[in-house]
Amino acid sequence: GGQVAYGDLDGDGQEEAVVIVVSDPNGSAIFHDLAVVAEQDGAPAHVASAALPDPVVLKEVDVEDGLIKVVMDTLGPGDGQCCPSQHTVSFYGLQNGVLVELASQTVE
């Protein structure tokens, strides 16, 4: 696990790459998107993206059984915007070409 993970997310027998795209559009907030990239005609091509919670501290991104597993800290009760501390595990999957969050749970 790290910031890039590989696995077959659409059942076609070919691995897709899962990457984290970080953007800072206005200088005051940093946003994280989960993006799926596949090889098409020998070149990488964007398949789908989903926004991760804001703010977030990423711990791990992995592919398990065709699903994307994201381990992160998100805002918990009483957390300030600076300091998300709620340990969260979320699973994302491709559905009809759209990347959706399928399940999420907080862990102690």
What span, in angstroms and rounded, lies between the C-alpha atoms of 49 and 3?
Answer: 15
Tokens 């059942």 locate to 11
Which tens digits make up the pLDDT trace of 48-106?
999 999 899 999 999 999 999 999 999 999 999 889 999 999 999 999 999 999 999 99
Banded pLDDT at 2 (limits 50, 70, 90): low
The dihedral region occupied by 96, where left means phi > 0, alpha psi between -120 and 50, and beta the remainder, is left
pTM: 0.90
Question: Region 9-29: what's the mean pLDDT?
Answer: 90
Q: Give the Cβ contact number of residue 75 at 10 Å.
A: 17
Contact indicator for 7, 18 with CB cutoff of 8 Å:
yes
pLDDT: which is higher, 108 or 6: 6
Q: Where are the alpha helices (DSSP H) in 1-108?
A: none
